[in-house]
Structure 1
Amino acid sequence: MGSVGDAYDNAVAESFFATLETELIDRHSWRTRADARLAVFDFIEAFYNPHRRHRFIGHLSPAEFERRYRSAQPPAA
Protein backbone atom coordinates (compact mmCIF):
# COMPACT_ATOMS: atom_id res chain seq x y z
CA MET A 1 0.00 0.00 0.00
CA GLY A 2 1.17 3.47 -0.75
CA SER A 3 0.66 6.73 1.01
CA VAL A 4 -2.69 8.45 1.41
CA GLY A 5 -3.95 9.61 -1.95
CA ASP A 6 -1.52 7.41 -3.89
CA ALA A 7 -3.09 6.78 -7.29
CA TYR A 8 -1.42 3.40 -7.67
CA ASP A 9 -3.40 1.92 -4.76
CA ASN A 10 -6.55 1.56 -6.85
CA ALA A 11 -5.07 1.12 -10.31
CA VAL A 12 -6.76 -2.25 -10.79
CA ALA A 13 -10.16 -0.95 -9.70
CA GLU A 14 -9.78 2.16 -11.85
CA SER A 15 -8.86 0.01 -14.85
CA PHE A 16 -11.90 -2.21 -14.33
CA PHE A 17 -14.30 0.72 -14.00
CA ALA A 18 -12.82 2.39 -17.08
CA THR A 19 -13.47 -0.81 -19.04
CA LEU A 20 -16.99 -1.08 -17.62
CA GLU A 21 -17.76 2.50 -18.64
CA THR A 22 -16.24 2.21 -22.11
CA GLU A 23 -17.64 -1.17 -23.06
CA LEU A 24 -21.04 -1.09 -21.35
CA ILE A 25 -22.22 2.11 -19.65
CA ASP A 26 -21.39 4.53 -22.48
CA ARG A 27 -22.99 2.28 -25.11
CA HIS A 28 -26.38 1.58 -23.52
CA SER A 29 -29.23 3.11 -21.59
CA TRP A 30 -31.69 1.27 -19.38
CA ARG A 31 -35.29 1.87 -18.43
CA THR A 32 -34.85 0.99 -14.78
CA ARG A 33 -32.09 0.78 -12.22
CA ALA A 34 -32.78 -2.95 -11.92
CA ASP A 35 -32.16 -3.39 -15.66
CA ALA A 36 -28.87 -1.49 -15.36
CA ARG A 37 -27.85 -3.55 -12.35
CA LEU A 38 -28.57 -6.79 -14.22
CA ALA A 39 -26.60 -5.57 -17.25
CA VAL A 40 -23.57 -4.79 -15.06
CA PHE A 41 -23.83 -8.21 -13.40
CA ASP A 42 -24.04 -9.92 -16.80
CA PHE A 43 -21.08 -7.90 -18.08
CA ILE A 44 -18.92 -8.95 -15.15
CA GLU A 45 -19.94 -12.61 -15.00
CA ALA A 46 -20.50 -13.37 -18.67
CA PHE A 47 -17.91 -11.21 -20.42
CA TYR A 48 -15.32 -9.54 -18.26
CA ASN A 49 -14.32 -12.42 -15.99
CA PRO A 50 -14.16 -15.35 -18.44
CA HIS A 51 -13.09 -13.54 -21.62
CA ARG A 52 -10.77 -10.66 -20.74
CA ARG A 53 -7.10 -11.51 -21.21
CA HIS A 54 -4.88 -11.38 -18.15
CA ARG A 55 -1.16 -10.75 -18.12
CA PHE A 56 -0.67 -12.99 -15.07
CA ILE A 57 -1.84 -16.07 -16.99
CA GLY A 58 0.11 -15.49 -20.18
CA HIS A 59 -2.31 -13.03 -21.78
CA LEU A 60 -4.99 -15.72 -21.96
CA SER A 61 -8.59 -15.34 -20.93
CA PRO A 62 -9.55 -17.27 -17.80
CA ALA A 63 -11.82 -19.48 -19.93
CA GLU A 64 -8.96 -20.32 -22.32
CA PHE A 65 -6.51 -20.84 -19.46
CA GLU A 66 -8.91 -23.29 -17.80
CA ARG A 67 -9.55 -25.11 -21.09
CA ARG A 68 -5.81 -25.57 -21.65
CA TYR A 69 -5.26 -26.60 -18.05
CA ARG A 70 -7.98 -29.23 -18.18
CA SER A 71 -6.78 -30.64 -21.51
CA ALA A 72 -3.26 -31.04 -20.07
CA GLN A 73 -4.50 -33.08 -17.08
CA PRO A 74 -4.44 -36.89 -17.25
CA PRO A 75 -7.87 -38.53 -17.50
CA ALA A 76 -9.53 -39.32 -14.19
CA ALA A 77 -9.36 -42.97 -13.15
Structure 2
Amino acid sequence: MGSVGDSYDNALAETVIGLYKTEVIRRRGPWRSLEALELMTLEWVDWFNQQRLLEPLGHIPPAEAEADFFERDNQAAMAA
Protein backbone atom coordinates (compact mmCIF):
# COMPACT_ATOMS: atom_id res chain seq x y z
CA MET A 1 0.00 0.00 0.00
CA GLY A 2 2.36 2.71 1.20
CA SER A 3 5.80 3.10 2.65
CA VAL A 4 6.82 1.99 6.11
CA GLY A 5 5.70 4.37 8.83
CA ASP A 6 2.85 5.92 6.87
CA SER A 7 -0.78 6.34 7.92
CA TYR A 8 -1.67 2.75 6.96
CA ASP A 9 0.82 1.43 9.54
CA ASN A 10 -0.63 3.76 12.17
CA ALA A 11 -4.20 2.68 11.41
CA LEU A 12 -3.31 -0.99 11.79
CA ALA A 13 -1.49 -0.36 15.07
CA GLU A 14 -4.38 1.66 16.44
CA THR A 15 -6.83 -1.08 15.47
CA VAL A 16 -4.82 -3.75 17.30
CA ILE A 17 -4.42 -1.49 20.35
CA GLY A 18 -8.17 -0.88 20.40
CA LEU A 19 -8.84 -4.61 20.17
CA TYR A 20 -6.42 -5.24 23.05
CA LYS A 21 -8.06 -2.57 25.20
CA THR A 22 -11.53 -3.96 24.53
CA GLU A 23 -10.70 -7.64 25.02
CA VAL A 24 -8.18 -7.44 27.86
CA ILE A 25 -8.24 -4.15 29.72
CA ARG A 26 -11.98 -3.49 29.89
CA ARG A 27 -13.42 -7.02 29.94
CA ARG A 28 -10.99 -8.64 32.35
CA GLY A 29 -10.23 -5.75 34.71
CA PRO A 30 -9.98 -4.32 37.26
CA TRP A 31 -6.36 -5.31 37.67
CA ARG A 32 -4.96 -5.96 41.14
CA SER A 33 -1.35 -5.43 40.13
CA LEU A 34 0.88 -4.43 37.25
CA GLU A 35 2.29 -7.98 37.17
CA ALA A 36 -1.19 -9.45 36.64
CA LEU A 37 -1.78 -7.07 33.74
CA GLU A 38 1.62 -7.87 32.23
CA LEU A 39 0.97 -11.62 32.41
CA MET A 40 -2.45 -11.23 30.80
CA THR A 41 -0.90 -9.06 28.08
CA LEU A 42 1.64 -11.78 27.28
CA GLU A 43 -1.10 -14.40 27.15
CA TRP A 44 -3.20 -12.22 24.83
CA VAL A 45 -0.28 -11.54 22.48
CA ASP A 46 0.44 -15.28 22.31
CA TRP A 47 -3.22 -15.99 21.51
CA PHE A 48 -3.34 -13.17 18.93
CA ASN A 49 -0.21 -14.37 17.10
CA GLN A 50 -0.43 -18.15 17.53
CA GLN A 51 -3.96 -19.38 18.23
CA ARG A 52 -6.77 -17.12 16.97
CA LEU A 53 -8.64 -18.44 13.97
CA LEU A 54 -8.77 -16.17 10.94
CA GLU A 55 -11.59 -16.55 8.43
CA PRO A 56 -9.57 -15.13 5.48
CA LEU A 57 -6.94 -17.84 6.09
CA GLY A 58 -9.49 -20.67 6.12
CA HIS A 59 -10.18 -20.63 9.86
CA ILE A 60 -6.61 -21.49 10.82
CA PRO A 61 -4.25 -19.64 13.19
CA PRO A 62 -1.71 -17.16 11.77
CA ALA A 63 1.23 -19.32 12.91
CA GLU A 64 -0.14 -22.31 11.02
CA ALA A 65 -0.73 -20.23 7.88
CA GLU A 66 2.83 -18.93 8.07
CA ALA A 67 4.27 -22.43 8.47
CA ASP A 68 2.19 -23.65 5.50
CA PHE A 69 3.40 -20.72 3.38
CA PHE A 70 7.08 -21.41 4.07
CA GLU A 71 6.63 -25.14 3.50
CA ARG A 72 5.04 -24.49 0.08
CA ASP A 73 7.75 -21.92 -0.70
CA ASN A 74 10.52 -24.41 0.16
CA GLN A 75 8.86 -27.12 -1.94
CA ALA A 76 8.61 -24.74 -4.90
CA ALA A 77 12.28 -23.80 -4.53
CA MET A 78 13.32 -27.45 -4.43
CA ALA A 79 11.25 -28.23 -7.54
CA ALA A 80 12.86 -25.38 -9.50
TM > 0.5 fold call: yes
| Structure with a larger share of its residues in helix | 2
Aligned to 1:24: 24
What TM-score, normalized by structure 1, do the two folds share? 0.60
The 1:65/1:26 distance shift into structure 2, 3 A limit, reads same
Q: What letter is aligned with 1:48?
A: F
Q: CA deviation at 1:10?
A: 0.3
What TM-score, normalized by structure 2, do the two folds share? 0.59
Q: Sequence identity of aligned pairs in percent?
A: 32
1:1-77 equivalent positions in 2, closer than 5 A: 7-29=7-29, 30-45=31-46, 47-52=47-52, 53=54, 59-60=56-57, 61-66=61-66
Task: Could you list the structure 1 runs, at least 4 aligned residues long, displaced by more than 2 angstroms after superposition.
Answer: 6-9, 51-54, 66-74
The count of corresponding residues between Structure 1 and Structure 2 is: 66
Deviates more, 1:24-33 or 1:63-72: 63-72
Unaligned runs of 5+ in 2: 76-80
